Structure 1
Amino acid sequence: MKKSLVLFFVMLSAIIVHAQETDSIALLSPVEFKTQIIDVRTPEEFQEGHIEGALNIDFYSEDFEKEFHKLDKEQPVYLYCRSGYRSNQSAKKKRNGL
């Protein structure tokens, strides 16, 4: 139940952010959504529980920029963290081309 609620709120947040930035809404299948989730929490947080299919790129890691730079800049990604701070900072980096 808890994982379902987390997934619901992440999906809702992702749709709202996407809609705000592009003035449009894109409907994704669960498979599409899961393959585009980037979890920017620490590996320890990720191990405690994460959305299946999410890629973990630790915001605080020395390799963050290198790993984040590997993402396709033409494809949308849905960033996830515990409070929203790290995902917001990561989004700014992606938007600015790192």
Structure 2
Amino acid sequence: MKRFLLLFLLIIGQVGCSQKKEIPITELSQKDIDKGILVDVRTPEEYNMGHLDSAMNINWFDEDFAKQFESIDKNKTLYLYCKMGGRSAKASELLESKGYKTVNLLGGYDAWKEN
């Protein structure tokens, strides 16, 4: 029984640690933004048509996308969004692999604009 319980706890721990960090963009708070860095990964053209206040624009399609984050403190949480959530999910995965803490904002700018 103890072995089963230990195995169960290890599995739960692994699943919990491997889950992606993401929240609906509509749940993003000012407190989150103040503690982290808000990044819009859409193209400059999309960004110029409207974006969240205080968001910096780093285009996912740029060849040097990851390199543009080198001057950003890895202790800060990056809150990433795009139009609907696809590009920001990919960006989040890439940046996590490079040691950054990220949160993908589900629904993207379209969901925020609707709200």
TM-score (norm 1): 0.65
Asked which structure has the greater RCO (Cα within 8 Å, sep 6+), the reply is 2
**Pairs aligned (count):** 76
Return structure 1 stretches of 4+ with deviation > 2 angstroms: 27-31, 68-71
- Specify which of 5, 10, 31 is matched with residue 25 of structure 2: 10
Q: Percent identity?
A: 34
Give structure 1 stretches of 5+ with no counterpart. 1-8, 15-26
Distance change in 2, residues 1:29/1:97 (3 Å): same
How many angstroms apart in 1 are the aligned matches of 2:79 and 2:70?
Answer: 15
More strand by share: 2
Q: Which residue of 1 aligns with 2:34?
A: 32
Give structure 2 stretches of 5+ with no counterpart. 1-23, 100-115
**Higher Cα Rg: structure 1 or 2?**
2
**1:81-92 superposed matches below 5 A:** 81-92=82-93
TM-score (norm 2): 0.57
